[in-house]
Amino acid sequence: MEQYPILSRINTPADIRGMDYSQLEALCTEIRHFLVENVSKTGGHLASNLGTVELTLALHRVFHTPEDTLIWDVGHQCYTHKIITGRREQFDTLRQPGGISGFPKPSESIYDAFTVGHSSTSISAAYAVSCVNHMKNNGLFSVAVIGDGAFTGGMAYEALNNAGRSKNNLVIVLNHNSMSISKNVGAFARYLSVIRSKPSYLRLKEQTEKLLDHLPFFGVRIKEWLRTSKSLLKFLLYHSTFFEELGFAYFGPVDGHDLPKLEQTLRRARELHKPAFVHVETIKGKGYEYAEKNPMAYHGVSRFDVETGNPDVAAADSFSVTFGNLLTRIADTDERICVVTAAMREGTGLSLFAQEHKNRFFDVGIAEQHAVTFCAGLASKGMLPVFAVYSTFLQRAYDQLLHDAAIDQLHIVLAVDRAGLVGDDGETHQGIYDIAFLSSIPGVTVYAPTTYKELEVLLRRAIYQTPGVTVVRYPKGSEPQKKIQGSNPSNDYSNWNKDGKIAAISYGRIFHHLFQAAGNLEQKPSVYQLHKVLPLSEKLISELMQYSKILFFEEAEKTGSISEQLCFALMERGYRGEFKAKTLPSGFIKQGKVEDLLKQWQLDAESIQTILREELET
Amino acid sequence: MEQYPILSRINTPADIRGMDYSQLEALCTEIRHFLVENVSKTGGHLASNLGTVELTLALHRVFHTPEDTLIWDVGHQCYTHKIITGRREQFDTLRQPGGISGFPKPSESIYDAFTVGHSSTSISAAYAVSCVNHMKNNGLFSVAVIGDGAFTGGMAYEALNNAGRSKNNLVIVLNHNSMSISKNVGAFARYLSVIRSKPSYLRLKEQTEKLLDHLPFFGVRIKEWLRTSKSLLKFLLYHSTFFEELGFAYFGPVDGHDLPKLEQTLRRARELHKPAFVHVETIKGKGYEYAEKNPMAYHGVSRFDVETGNPDVAAADSFSVTFGNLLTRIADTDERICVVTAAMREGTGLSLFAQEHKNRFFDVGIAEQHAVTFCAGLASKGMLPVFAVYSTFLQRAYDQLLHDAAIDQLHIVLAVDRAGLVGDDGETHQGIYDIAFLSSIPGVTVYAPTTYKELEVLLRRAIYQTPGVTVVRYPKGSEPQKKIQGSNPSNDYSNWNKDGKIAAISYGRIFHHLFQAAGNLEQKPSVYQLHKVLPLSEKLISELMQYSKILFFEEAEKTGSISEQLCFALMERGYRGEFKAKTLPSGFIKQGKVEDLLKQWQLDAESIQTILREELET
């Protein structure tokens, strides 16, 4: 730590509250070095954290954390926050198994007020905390820090609408990145730019207030009169932005890298003791000069899907890019194909599609609810919409799938990426619940490829041969290296060995492990690979009735799993044999390498082989 | 039909397009009579439909339905639309079994473009249709009609944000009810009032445009210059409302009962050929004079939860009011109790609470996502939040339950009302999916009372003795008339007869039917009543292992049901007996009387008795 003389002495925010600006400036430099050094090893979100160094320090200096509550939206920009709240020395364990999380986590620190990971939740939580503070009349503050990307999610607006009429000590900090605002983030992004471009108009208010602040006695009274009167002057002064219309005092835009100015603005917002909205402009990746010294580390994490918390761009050898390129080819000859993404163009492999079929590529912002109903609308007019979405984010659109698409059997296709365990991002991002929640929606069909070849067949089958809400789900990363050949995904399932005395079943990524495991055994089970996971094949069920023992291996949470549904279906038909399943638990799974997690839950090839051997012997 | 000389000749919207305003005025009068006469018999949403008579006619006259697409948000205001699109003669079957739906339904008519029922979906769907029209360059229009209440739902905003930058033929009509805007609908409602109160400011733009329209040649050029320039004048003319900031041309506010003015405004919006926002002011219940002649009919449906599509106020003898009053009493002595509703104060029985504990009563608008995360925020600071919500609307908050509350085991209580079949509202409102989707969220506890007495015990148990996300679910309506006494809801289940040769299990409303059915038999099964439905009781599972036959009766969809989960749990422990379940199907259930629907799915006492008798004999 000798290269970080100042940082190495910071153990709690109290340590930075007494520092002067020259020390703080040096501290910011050290923190940027520290971030680049560490994130280059652990991976993670570099650019967004380089952009919020000063903002984090300013917030912890102006507000008295942890008594005042600080809630980060999405949370991937919390690294500086973690570094100065006692986790500097564990920072090399970021996102590692057993290490600290890449997101705020209350179980990790009292400074992490709320679990985050998904977008647009911070204002709801911060407003709730401000209500509690108000009820208790304890004078404490509640602060939400939210990016302009997260403002495309409707929840943020629900919360603003609810909070704006309160009198609580609530401060919303808009972290407005000047960099990487994609054109299609939507109309709100443009609105924020409009605000930015008319500072003189906004400064009028600031200057008037400052002037009045310097007029003792009368100044206060004039300000009070201005605030309460119905004059046009008041209207111009206090209704110049949408946030003011909603009841927030608006401050900004302020340079998010000018620490003194930033703190001054936050202090003014704090002094108001009513809902305030502070518009901060930051530059993602601020501090390039350090990143430039270590280009490999920087480039590894340099491209972002705007604000969604996902720095990883899908590799060329991945299900994501295979899907995206394939869909582009299908769209070449079918003008009904449209693709929708909720701000995840890169992550879901849609760069090529966006380029070649620009008019049928729709990035709707971080708005999964709207995305699904938008697809339903396209389908209602005969288009063939495909929504490419991570499993974990699809959770946001449960009602829209059920209510807007499934009731009318509108044919929309969901390309569910990152299905199953995802690894480093931990509990908030595991894609292990989609099987359960999709199963509860009547009429949904789910396909699960194990290889790229199967993905191709199943995607076409989903688009052209399946009615209603149809899902193709596949894991993060690439197909198995040892390829499986000879499956027939045009059928609902493939049967690889029919003469086993017991039946072993799986689908998707785990099927490959089962296939390997069974291949190594002398005495083999009958091996079934599901291509269509839902609804269950009647033919399969009758075929399975003949076995006295059935084993199911599944990378999904236990409750609501296909294992559970198949077991029930068999019992309904009078099955009296044994039925055993290895699934993931009905619980939350922490960060870790996917291979390790699968091993832990006995879903790796070796564990499956051991289980098969035991079950074949008894 | 002789009392409706004009209306009786209207079979399609084409029939009203040639009419003059004096005829149309008479038609409006007839329609209001017709609505009052019919809704007094069938039940339904009277006030909101009386408010949209002129608006409906104007829309069908200005736009060429069904080629132009008209999407009603929520949809309960679609009665006039149904009456003039060929369903006048079936109108007495509204909401009746086999009759026409109280909501737009594409399977019913080509004029019903999209299935609706839940709030805030219309802009997403209408924007999608406008994209298709734009791609096809067919010149058609797409129109969404949305109330100010529905604007509290975040989805509406996600869609506005996405649509505002397009160049599509899209018209958003805001149906702004002057009546019954509850104070707590939020900041946006206040904003709309602000707009309404500054017409002179807005008219400036209108007048300038009109003036320019009358200046041939130069007028058009000046208008064009104004639109594209960066002048302050442009700013004042075209950035006067938030909707304009988002890229919509703003028109209004216009009197929604002045048909000529309304049509003129809609025509101007239509002529623009770009996204337009038309602010229409209507009066809910317009045409009181007719309602006054038939006060019984009117009062039966006169109180509304703002815009949520639910006219029925919970009766004093209902689970809803029992819950609300009980919670008020609990809150009397515990200041940590807070209650949250998503615009359903009356329906969820919270009037008393709102009155007696005003500062702990939170109506957050039609914003279930925000509601749940708001509860999580309250819980994070030690409060005891209870969210009272209809089962069907809780679907909106699936991700927030999982991600914002369950991961951190924050203790929030959900009072899930209208759980199970709801009857008249049909597919979009059945509360039959919550068991499945709640089961998929790790750590959720679900209690299901059969009687008010059990509700009391279980609500206290949920609040004070259960960690994490805890649900108490109960049906619409009242407890069974023949009371069950002697259950012990402090335990996880009650066993009413232990020496049967088979076991019969149920919970909630259906348990009463099982109880009755078993009571009538000479040879009795062992009867189990679940109080805690989730997680499954280990003790129960071991007790059940001894039976050679188990029957489960459940008012929930089959996939994801407790039946399915119990079956799997038994099989995992080596059960080899029979397991049979009567559940609702994994599908959508149409409108009908609850008793009839339960009979249809063999969940009434008589059917259960027959089943028990048969199963006891074999």
Phi, then psi, of B217 in degrees rounded to 5: 65, -65
Closest-CA distance, A187 to chain B, in angstroms, reads 5
pLDDT at residue B543 greater than cutoff 90? yes
- pLDDT-derived band at B294, boundaries 50, 70, 90: very low
Q: Which residue of A has its CA nearest to B584?
A: A442
To the query of whether residue A396 is one of the catalytic residues in this protein, the response is yes
B364, B407 Cβ separation under 8 angstroms: no
A201, B227 Cβ separation under 8 angstroms: no
Residues in A touching B274 (Cβ below 8 Å): none
A311 versus A83: which is more confidently predicted?
A83
**Complex ipTM > 0.90:** yes
Asked if A403 and B563 come within 8 Å (Cβ–Cβ), the reply is: no
Q: What is the C-alpha to C-alpha distance for residues B504 and B515, in angstroms, rounded to an integer?
A: 10
**CATH architecture of the domain formed by B7-199+242-282:** 3-Layer(aba) Sandwich (3.40)
Asked if A440 and B437 come within 8 Å (Cβ–Cβ), the reply is: yes
Strand, helix or coil for residue B183: helix
Beta strands across the sheet bearing A142-147: A69-72, A142-147, A170-177, A276-282, A249-255
B408 versus A226: which is more confidently predicted?
B408
Residues 503-562, chain A, touching B (beta carbon < 8 A): 557, 559-560
For residue A346, give every residue at least 6 positions away whose Cβ sits within 8 Å of its Cβ, in sequence order, or none. Answer: A303, A304, A305, A313, A314
Closest-CA distance, B586 to chain A, in angstroms, reads 5
Stretch A301-313: mean pLDDT, rounded?
45
Asked if B559 and A113 come within 8 Å (Cβ–Cβ), the reply is: no
- The percent of residues above 90 in pLDDT, for chain B, comes to 76
The reported pLDDT for the residue numbered B285 is 81
Domain residue extents for chain B? 7-199+242-282, 319-473, 493-617
Phi, then psi, of B483 in degrees rounded to 5: -75, 145
Q: What is the C-alpha to C-alpha distance for residues A550 and A548, in angstroms, rounded to an integer?
A: 7
- Given A82, A87, A396, A476, the catalytic residue: A396
Range of weakest confidence among A193-202, A214-223, B60-69, B477-486: A193-202
The reported pLDDT for the residue numbered B582 is 98
Q: Which active-site residues of B does the annotation give?
A: 284, 368, 396
Across-strand partners of B362?
A: B340
B120 versus A289: which is more confidently predicted?
B120
Give the residue from A152, A373, A544, A565 with the most B CB atoms within 10 Å of its CB, the best one to mutate.
A373
**HSE-CB of A377 using CA atoms within 13 angstroms:** 28
Q: What is the C-alpha to C-alpha distance for residues A395 and B402, in angstroms, rounded to an integer?
A: 9
pLDDT at residue B133 greater than cutoff 90? yes
Q: Which CATH fold would you assign to the domain A7-282?
A: Rossmann fold (3.40.50)
Q: What share of chain B is helix, strand, coil (3-state, %, to 5)?
A: 45, 15, 40
Nearest to B586 among A442, A563, A579 (CB): A442
Residues 209-238, chain B, touching A (beta carbon < 8 A): 235
pTM of the full predicted structure?
0.93
Same fold, B319-473 and B493-617: yes
Asked if A400 and B360 come within 8 Å (Cβ–Cβ), the reply is: no
Stretch B372-395: mean pLDDT, rounded?
98
Q: Is B375 on the interface with A (CB under 8 A)?
A: yes
Q: What is the C-alpha to C-alpha distance for residues A27 and A45, in angstroms, rounded to an integer?
A: 20
Stretch B97-109: mean pLDDT, rounded?
94
The reported pLDDT for the residue numbered A120 is 97
Asked if A125 and B404 come within 8 Å (Cβ–Cβ), the reply is: yes
pLDDT at residue A146 greater than cutoff 50? yes
What does A283-309 look like in DSSP terms, one character per residue?
Answer: -TT--HHHHHHSHHHHHHT----TTSS
For residue A12, give every residue at least 6 positions away whose Cβ sits within 8 Å of its Cβ, in sequence order, or none. Answer: A84, A85, A86
Helical (H) or strand (E) element with B562: helix B562-572
The reported pLDDT for the residue numbered A288 is 63
- Looking at the domain that runs over B319-473, which CATH code has it been given? 3.40.50.970
The reported pLDDT for the residue numbered B216 is 65
Q: Which residue of A has its CA nearest to B105?
A: A408
B215-231: string of b/e by CB count within 10 Å (b at 16+)?
A: eeeeeeeebeebeeeee
The reported pLDDT for the residue numbered A185 is 60
Range of weakest confidence among A482-496, B364-378, B552-566: A482-496
B379 versus A286: which is more confidently predicted?
B379
CATH of A493-617, one of 3.60.15.10, 3.30.420.10, 3.30.1490.20, 3.40.50.920: 3.40.50.920
The reported pLDDT for the residue numbered B224 is 66
Give the pLDDT confidence of A464-481 residue by residue, as tens digits: 999 999 999 999 999 998
Task: Give me chain A's average pLDDT, please.
Answer: 89
- pLDDT-derived band at B302, boundaries 50, 70, 90: very low
Helical (H) or strand (E) element with A614: helix A605-617
For residue B224, give every residue at least 6 positions away whose Cβ sits within 8 Å of its Cβ, in sequence order, or none. Answer: none
The reported pLDDT for the residue numbered B227 is 60
What does A576-603 look like in DSSP terms, one character per residue?
Answer: -SEEEEEEE-SS---S--HHHHHHHTT-
Strand, helix or coil for residue B104: coil
Give the pLDDT confidence of A84-143 residue by residue, as tens digits: 999 999 999 999 999 999 999 999 999 999 999 999 999 999 999 999 999 999 999 999
**HSE-CB of A173 using CA atoms within 13 angstroms:** 33
Residues 80-119, chain A, touching B (beta carbon < 8 A): 106-107, 113-115, 117-118
Give the pLDDT confidence of B557-577 residue by residue, as tens digits: 999 999 999 999 999 999 999
Q: Alpha helices of B43-107 — where are they, by DSSP H?
A: 46-50, 53-62, 79-82
pLDDT at residue A181 greater than cutoff 50? no
Interior angle at CA A108, CA A107 and CA A112, nearest 5: 85
Q: Provide the token pair at A160.
A: 């603003």
Residue whose structure tokens are 């302020």: A254
DSSP assignment letter at B312: P
The reported pLDDT for the residue numbered A413 is 98
Q: Which residue of B has its CA nearest to A242?
A: B242
Helical (H) or strand (E) element with B69: strand B69-72
Asked if B125 and A246 come within 8 Å (Cβ–Cβ), the reply is: no
A273, A130 Cβ separation under 8 angstroms: no
Give the residue from A68, A157, A366 with the most B CB atoms within 10 Å of its CB, the best one to mutate.
A157
- pLDDT-derived band at A534, boundaries 50, 70, 90: very high
Q: What is the C-alpha to C-alpha distance for residues B459 and B490, in angstroms, rounded to an integer?
A: 11
- The percent of residues above 70 in pLDDT, for chain A, comes to 87
Q: Which residue of A has its CA nearest to B428?
A: A403
Stretch B583-591: mean pLDDT, rounded?
95
Asked if B380 and A443 come within 8 Å (Cβ–Cβ), the reply is: no
Residues in B touching A106 (Cβ below 8 Å): 380, 408
- Given A368, A479, A554, A555, the catalytic residue: A368
Q: What is the C-alpha to C-alpha distance for residues A200 and A197, in angstroms, rounded to an integer?
A: 9
Q: Is B438 on the interface with A (CB under 8 A)?
A: no
Q: Is B468 on the interface with A (CB under 8 A)?
A: no
Q: Is A404 on the interface with B (CB under 8 A)?
A: yes
Stretch A47-54: mean pLDDT, rounded?
93
Q: Provide the token pair at B440.
A: 């998929």
Nearest to B398 among A367, A437, A442 (CB): A437
Q: Provide the token pair at B293.
A: 């002649």
Residue whose structure tokens are 């054109």: A183
Measured between its terminal Cα atoms, the distance across chain A in Å is: 58
A549-557 and B493-497 beta bridge pairing = unpaired
